[in-house]
Structure formats: C-alpha cells, structure tokens
A = this chain, B = another copy of it.
Amino acid sequence: MRKELLEDIGEKELINRLKKFMPKNQASDDCALIITKKEKLLINNDTLVENVHFNDVTISPQDIGWKAVVSNISDLLSSGSKKTIGITISLILPAKTEWFWVEELYKGIDKALKKYGGIILGGDCSRGNQKTISITALGIQGELELKRNACSPGEIILTTGIHGLSKLGFMIKNKNNFENDISLSKRLIKQSMEHFTRPKIYPHFLANLLKTRPNKKITRIGCTDSSDGLFQAVQDLAIASNCKAIINYEKIPKDKDWPKGDKWDEYYFFGGEDYKLVFSLPKKWAREFSKLDNNVTEIGFFIEGEPSIEFKDKKKNKLLKNTPFKHF
C-alpha cells in the first residue's frame, strides 16, 4: 500500500482530519473559546523538536503525543493546577510526513488527555524541515500556590518518585552499550521502557497536599517538576528560593535493581524526563505526606546559604560536577 503523505492529502483535508480529535463546538473558528469563572488560570508551553527531544528510531509517534501532553500537565501540576482545561497544539511537519504518523501522534495526545483530563482547544499546522510539536496547556489554579521561589530554610525536600528510569529506557531503546559486567533485570528493563515511553504523572498531588496540610494559613509551597532531571529541579528551587539544598544520598529512592556506581548515579540525577514533583514542606507536613503515600520520599532539606546543592555525605559531592542537558 502506498504511504499517504501530507502533501498528498493537502492542508484542508489534514485540518479536517485533525478536527475530529476536538470537541465539536471547538472545531470551526479562528480562535478557541473557554468559559471562566473568577479564578486564576495557569498557562504552560512545552515544545518537542525532532532530533533534539525525540527521533523516530527511539520512540513511536503515539508515545511522543502522550509525552507532549504529560510534560505540559506535569508543569501545570507543579504550579498547583487543580484541573487541566485543555491544550492548543501547534505542529510543524515536513510535507513528506505520513498521515499515519500524525494520526498516531494525535492518538497519543488523546489517550493522555483522557487519562489526565483536558480537551484539544485548537491548533495549527505549518510546513517545516523538522517535526515539531508545541503544546500550550491551560489549567485552573487550586487552593495552594506552588512556586519555585517559595522554599524556606528548615524545610524538608521531597519527591514523588524514583528518578533515572526514563533515561535508562531511552538508552536501552537507543541500543546503548553498558559496561560488560552490568546485567539489568528484566523487570527493570520493562519499567524503564515504560517510564521512557509512557511516563505517568501524579495527579492527586494537590489533593494529598491539602489532605495533610497541618495549618490552613500556609498557602504557598516551593515546588517544581523533574522534567529536566532531579538535579536541575533541586537547583531551580535553590536558586529561585535563594537557599542551599542538602541532599541525603542514602534516602534517595532507587529502583531495587538499579545498578551501583558513579555512572548510574549520573543517570539518576541528570537523566531527565522523570516528571516527578520536587518540593519542600515544613517538617510535620512532610512527615504526614510521606506517611499518606509511600511513593513520596524525603530526600533532604534546605538551609540558609548560597543557592546550591550539597550532599550530606561530602564524598558524594563529586557527582555534582556534571551538568544537566542544555539547549545552547
């Protein structure tokens, strides 16, 4: 069967096909429309570029669609969103792109929205050399304001899960050569692939924060997500809040089959695409929250000092000489 390319079906037909993924009342005009009450809206934008964020060898278009939505909703959650309203999708695609690729991308987008809430509000599609998916997501701010700059010295640093798995999944897909003496368990391989292709978010974050809040007067929490890796997340909090993070290496939650060694610590801290929440709470609240959910773990604390990260066990500080992924 001949492959159906975008240049074969034409722009008009492409737009019609994409509109089928949208609610009917949204699908006919220049602008998308949402009805608001007296509330605060959160807006986030995240862009995935071919051969920068993904390539057709390591990941399927359906997984790309899923991840594009998840990375946006993760940002909304880390700012305290209680509900995702919807997203607009801006695509750039070469004329030789197969319609199948676009349809699969939208199926992944659709699945993630069905799982985590939100609709497709609108979008556009342009021709270009490099496949690009740019999503703008809108959410409604909940009762707590979650900000990078709201951490305080004395607060406990927590995270909602294990890091590094997505990076490992990527390396496996990429047929990375690991050291000869490393044997990865089947379970770890499966887990890692899942984390890389279909990362999950933690949708009850806000609800669980509110459930364990010891004092209704506290309305601002220091928080971000670990889409660029755990190290980057803690560093962003430290810089925005102007305090020093002390990480307790022993407390970091690792997959039980995660190999030992500096290289594996590097994957863990600098891997990225983890989509866990990294945040700080007063001691009592931190204890209550981690009691409520075993996946939530205390990994360190903030103290006064230069915005930076140190390990409690100073011998581990050599790990921090690495630098996270940068676009430029």
- Shortest C-beta distance, A274 to chain B (Å), equals 14
Closest to A131 in B: B128
How near does chain B come to A118, taking the closest CB pair, in angstroms?
A: 13
| A262 CB-CB contact with B under 8 Å | no
Does A216 sit at the interface, judged by CB under 8 A? no
Taking A38-B38, A76-B31 as contacts, is the C-beta distance between A138 and B43 under 8 angstroms?
yes
**Is A181 located at the chain interface by the 8 A CB criterion?**
no
B-side contacts of A40, CB under 8 Å: 33-36
Q: Are A42 and B47 in contact (CB under 8 A)?
A: no
Docked CA distance A39–B38 (Å): 8
Q: B52 to A88, Cβ gap below 8 A?
A: no
A184 close to B (CB within 8 Å): no
Q: Choose among B7, B31, B88 the residue that contacts A328 (Cβ–Cβ < 8 A).
A: B7
Q: Contacts A31-B79, A75-B30, A125-B327 given: A92-B47 contact, CB under 8 Å? A: yes
Interface of A, helix, strand, loop or mixed by DSSP: strand
A148 within 8 A of B: yes
Question: Any chain B CB within 8 A of the CB of A261?
Answer: no
Asked if residues A30 and B47 are in contact (CB atoms below 8 Å), the reply is: no
A30 and B224 within 8 A (CB): yes
Query: Considering the chains assembled together, what is the distance between the CA atoms of A5 and B87 in angstroms?
Result: 33
**For the complex, is A121 an interface residue (Cβ under 8 Å from B)?**
yes
26 A-B residue pairs with CB within 8 Å = A28-B147, A28-B149, A30-B44, A30-B75, A30-B148, A31-B78, A33-B141, A34-B40, A35-B41, A36-B36, A36-B39, A38-B38, A43-B88, A43-B138, A44-B122, A45-B88, A45-B122, A45-B136, A47-B90, A47-B92, A49-B92, A88-B136, A92-B130, A130-B130, A134-B134, A136-B136
Closest 10 interchain pairs by CB?
A31-B79, A36-B36, A31-B42, A136-B136, A127-B327, A6-B328, A32-B43, A49-B128, A30-B75, A11-B326
